[in-house]
Amino acid sequence: VGGERALRSSVDRFEECRSITDPTSPWVLVNKRNGLSPKGFEPPDLVVPDMRNANGQRLRAEAATALASMAAASVEAGVGRIGIDTAYRSFETQEALYAKFLARRGREWTDRWYLRAGFSEHQTGLTVDLLPIGRSSCTINDCIDETPQGVWLAENSWRFGYLLRYEKGQTTVTGVGFEPWHFRYVGASLARAYRDGGWRTYEQFLGRPAAPTY
């Protein structure tokens, strides 16, 4: 109990420094209960990360720098290269993506795997979907957790300010299925506290309600 109280105090101090509602904050909480405001928010400083990126995917500058460092470190660690599948998505892009899968797969499936426009972390410019490059039969993000790169990312992303945002078995809290490819940038200090405390969802770390539905 004492340890939990101390960690909660630490989280409270974090919240005094960075907003979890301001869309420009690296700590902004975005889920089915907490949409972006304004819904059409566009990040001010999008850049292309200096790493394998076949289609010019962008992130906010701070997140892009950290991601490039993480990609280089994965090679140095001997686990292989990582690439970007998708990163920033505009409101319009997310809206079209959601509509496409809604028509193909129905609402229940789509709401498990795709957030509606205005409720997606991808719109913040702080989130990236990663994929493994080479050294395995997995060439898409869906099976990245079965590769050396995916195992390394799950264990080390916090060192670069990233969280594995949607862990296995946490859908009742996050409202999203297990996505071992989806990493969210929050900065080094918060990521370390998250990891040191053994947290598995950002909602619980912040002491916020679960967000299984809109």
Check if 76 is active-site.
no
Q: Which of 121, 167, 179, 203 is catalytic?
A: 179
Asked if 38 and 30 touch (Cβ cutoff 8 Å), the reply is: no
151: nearest Cα among 171, 173, 169, 136: 136
> What is d(CA 161, CA 154) in angstroms, rounded to the nearest whole number?
12
What one-letter code names the amino acid at 161? G
24: nearest Cα among 5, 7, 45: 45
Give catalytic residues, as residue numbers.
Answer: 179
